[in-house]
Structure 1
């Protein structure tokens, strides 16, 4: 079918799985571009924060709101994606989301104050939030059961590759073009993306569904408070802060009230009753817990490379790039095997590889580490991550009817988002607190009569009693303490992968030819 014919028929509601393979591939390309663009912006800003501090006149504490605002807005809107798609049609919502995201990106590049940047990042997160679950639902509906594993592999490239490659892309753009271009780059990509969506994405029929507005408000406030709590907790010293305590109370009360009110309501904005399906419930739990390890790893490694080893942003990005290639390799392996192997075995081996690759970092990472030992474990880890994500995304929908795709995708992806935030918060807290504790332990164990200490001062060319010598010793203690903190954080991530292995047994693989996977229950 030619593009013009496809566009002319774009107002007709048809079954996407019945379209020619060319149209389905172009639809996949359209949603993959959208996912990559949105997911990339979650982490592409991280390496540019020092430049943004100078350009916007912000302190280190204030500049983190550039990250927080995006994450909070995304977390609030994701649960509403299923309702929006049902009420207005999936195609219309996706086009508006991508168009709004592109405009918000342009405004971010033009921001000259912290208030402007935070406001425009809020808009970015709000518009981009629906892209991820609705693109996944599109891929689920566009392919039959036999091809769905390969479709999820293509979709997973965007979801996993985005945050992994974000620091690489961000470092290169910041060093060579300047920080505004980490936002401007979305303009040409977004225009191409919109053209593909308009031409090839099949519309779904809008349904005038009722909505429980009180439940929607409870969910938005609860999830927004939870995300802000997780993002700001370590900075504010957790329960020592009245802000964090208040956010915790608000999130617990609102989310509990939403679950109690909405579990069996037909007009609930998030159809939690779908979690009665064992595969969706288990896959949702596993993807949330998997997000704990995956996102915390992605958040910690740039800090290790740039702040502890002193790598420039672009070099750090290049060192982390092989993990992205390994993720793609893992997905290619899964795409080839998923029709022939029980998906639960793929998840099992993926968890083992992810845990094994992370464990190696706890034994090899040090302040004098060679680049090979930085890259090699991440390749093993990346292959494992690629092997986990695709089967879980496939199994989650395997025993659900197609009519539940949008709602199930909203549940699945809000769990993934929250899991990632939980992981980053825990890893950052472990890093900060263990580094502080180790600094005190190392400093307390210092023996001024130790010959090794005097040899260190002589090698450094300073006197042990001079102010410069004391300053250098303090800096070295801080580096060593932080190194131990990173190792303990990576140890936590290793355990976070291992504890998930028994839960794989709860999944049910009905096989590629399951009638549920095609027509639903």
Structure 2
């Protein structure tokens, strides 16, 4: 199978898709499944509550640095060979993570796991686009998007169940059977792609890696280091700006840059990058906020948190499966607008959360948000690549994944920083009204008004909950505004006119 699209000659398309999605879900799950296991790792690995976070940081930074190089590696070694090698390496280092006996071992193995896992998601998207004709790209992206978006939702729940029922090490051991099944299926049926040798722009790769790595470190460690009051964060910000600036200048002036700048001349793809950045912010930022909110304010155990959040994933899967069948029959831009409006509506509902509500409002808003994000993700993933030349596809899917991950990191960092800052401000403002002369305090707790320490501590706990709830509401309002501000970008997208089945000619544009 060559670089041009020859879809009629691809046998076993269903088995290929199943194998690809097994590998994709395995990799995506690992970005969130280990989070809930961190407290259990502390004692076994001899780590502290601060240093254990490097288990997450090492994986995120390594994956971010290696994602952009996927296109070159695929051209140099072959897409199929790179995909199979990535799955094997990912599983091997998953097992080594599961048997790690010290923090240093765990961080090293997680870093290498991130290195091998970086190519899995962009290659899975590339292959699904390659093996399907253009009129079936919507269905292919629906299946791919379901794994990408539902994986992070079920990851914490699955990780919590494995940790409580067995041991934190099973968070990594579970990758073995999934990886073996994915490898066997892909080794047997995945078509080979003609290799395309091209030079490696080491300087461009180094500058992009510097920018991406420093940015990810800054975003991941910012909250722990109190952001810009720390010299480390300023250094990482400087390195990130320097790396990205030099990379952009080099890309525009070099004869053979690491990433061909002509890829950004495709208007749909460039607009799609902006959109997927926004989706990354909304999806994982809300997922980062809800579990601690449910456990801290509402007192839900880990399993209950997973049950309450599961309908969000169901909503996403339903909308993706539906839109995958209709995206080539109607204007995808309409679907994106409807999806953004539904997402904004769900965040508006979430901005009305209170400590006294039941779980129904959380479930219903989650379903609406899942439906909305699914309506955006599938047509966006389809239209963004509709007019792009096939030879740019692997580089483009790598950039697509990278921008989504950076959006997620930025979104999580912003809402987390706002949460901490606003909680302190809200606590100070609310407690300012509590004094011995307040008749409401006397009515609610005479003991606290009289100065009883135990009663005052109880009142302070109530103030903390209210201050925290207001801060969560402020974050939801911010994400709603970000969603609404993305609406005008729809007008930059152009609708593809799909060619008849079996026609490999590029789609025309309206």
Q: 1:16 offset after TM fit, Å?
A: 6.9
Tell me the equivalent position of 1:352. 341
Q: Which of the residues 468, 472, 475 maps onto 2:461?
A: 475
Contact kept in structure 1, 2:268 and 2:383, CA below 8 Å: yes
CA distance in 2, matches of 1:335, 1:354: 18
- Per the alignment, in what secondary structure is the counterpart of residue 30 of structure 2? helix
2:268 aligned to which of 279, 284, 293: 279
CA displacement, residues 274-320 of structure 1 (integer Å, 9 cap, x when unaligned) = 00110110001111122111110111111111222221111111111
Equivalent of 1:426, from 390, 406, 414?
414
CA RMSD, 1 decimal: 2.0
Structure 2 distance, partners of 1:510, 1:13, is: 24
Are 1:259 and 2:248 an aligned pair? yes
Shift of residue 59, structure 1, vs aligned partner: 2.9
Q: What SS class does the counterpart of residue 263 from structure 1 fall into?
A: helix
Q: Is this contact kept in 1: 2:66–2:119, CA < 8 A?
A: yes
Does the alignment pair 1:387 with 2:375?
yes
Q: Structure 1: which 4+ aligned runs deviate by more than 4 Å?
A: 12-17, 19-22, 461-464, 514-517
- Tell me the SS of whatever aligns to 1:445: coil
Q: Distance in 2 between matches of 1:396 and 1:514?
A: 19
Deviations 1:83-121 (A, max 9, x none): 111111000111111111111111111122222222111
- Residues in 2 aligned to 1:24 and 1:394: alpha-carbon distance in whole angstroms: 18
2:433 maps to 445
The equivalent residue for 2:168 is 179
Q: What SS does structure 2 have at the residue aligned with 1:64?
A: helix
Q: Which residue of 2 aligns with 1:83?
A: 72
Match of 1:316?
305
Which stretches in structure 1 are left out of the alignment for 5+ residues?
1-11
Distance of 2:342 and 2:413 partners within structure 1? 24
Distance 1:328 1:421 in 2: 23
Displacement, 1:404? 1.3
What TM-score do you get using the length of structure 2 for normalisation? 0.95
CA distance in structure 1 between the aligned counterparts of 2:433 and 2:3, rounded to whole angstroms: 72
- 1:305 maps onto 2:291 in alignment: no
CA separation in 1, counterparts of 2:355 and 2:317?
30
Match of 1:512 among 498, 501, 507: 498
Taking structure 1 as the reference length, what is the TM-score of the superposition? 0.93
The answer to whether residue 111 in structure 2 is matched with residue 125 in structure 1 is no
Q: Distance in 1 between matches of 2:156 and 2:297?
A: 16
What 5-or-longer segments of structure 2 have no aligned partner?
A: none
- Aligned residue for 1:398, secondary structure, equals coil
Q: Hey, what does 1:37 align to over in structure 2?
A: 26
**Contact 1:400–1:517, Cα closer than 8 Å, also in 2:** no
Quick one: distance in 2 between partners of 1:97 and 1:343?
33
- How many angstroms does 1:139 deviate by? 0.9
The 2-side partners of 1:464 and 1:171 are apart by 44
The whole-number CA distance in structure 2 between the counterparts of 1:138 and 1:231 is 31
Residue of structure 2 aligned with 1:494, choices 480, 496, 500: 480
Q: Equivalents in 2 of 1:505, 1:515: separation in Å? A: 28
Indicate if the aligned counterparts of 1:79 and 1:411 stay in contact, CA closer than 8 A: yes
The 3-state SS of whatever aligns with 2:124 is helix
Partner SS, residue 323 of structure 2: helix
2-structure distance, mates of 1:479, 1:276: 49
- Count how many residue pairs are aligned between Structure 1 and Structure 2: 507
Matches within 5 A, 1:53-202: 53-202=42-191
